[in-house]
Amino acid sequence: MASQIASGMKYLESLNMVHRDLAVRNCLVGMNFTIKISDFGMSRILYSADYYKIEGRAVLPIRWMAWESILLGKFTTKSDVWSFGVTLWEILTFARDQPYHNLSDDQVIANAGHFYRSDGQQMLLPQPIVCPREIYDMMVECWNRSDCERPTFKDIHMFLLRKNMGYNPKDEKLNQLKVPVC
């Protein structure tokens, strides 16, 4: 599933299009488990608890959003990469809980402030029990404070394809994400 989502987002990234609401709730599962990325979340009452109204702004899915999107209103393909990391966390936890389920909406916003200030108090989502270390490390790369240090969807897609194929080169460095230089 994750590699299909990364592939779809790689396509949007190649068109310089930003999704702004990537989450499991917006991934449709079709025949033969084909995944299609959509944006139905806000139109469904079922998901109303996933959105938060910030003063003077539209309702936002803050638990999936990069800190710069929450605080600065900056949406880029790199903020979508952040959301992909959260979406992957959802997949690996079987979407049993909301991201940061132990935090209130105000605490999620405060956590974004910790990222902004880079004060060492920022919280990441925990490693899911069924998540291999190298996959969690990739998720942490997606949540990098600096958007230009986050991987591209092309990098993420290639990484996941290698994992799906059981790719295991002798030189382990070839199997790690290459972070683009900004």
**One-letter amino acid for residue 146 of the chain:** S
Distance CA(160)–CA(28), nearest Å, equals 19
Q: What is residue 86's three-state secondary structure?
A: helix
Which tokens in the block code for residue 86? 């959260």
What's the length of the chain? 182
CA angle 159, 81, 165 (to 5 degrees): 15
Could you say which of 21, 50, 80, 147 is catalytic?
21
Two tokens at 144? 């990098």
Q: H helices of the chain, where?
A: 2-14, 67-72, 77-92, 105-117, 133-142, 153-164
User: Which residues, in sequence order, are bridge partners of residue 35?
Assistant: 29
Q: Is 21 a catalytic residue?
A: yes
Q: Which value, in Å, is the radius of gyration of the alpha carbons in the chain?
A: 16
Query: Which of 32, 27, 25 has its CA nearest to residue 7?
Result: 27
Active site residues: 21
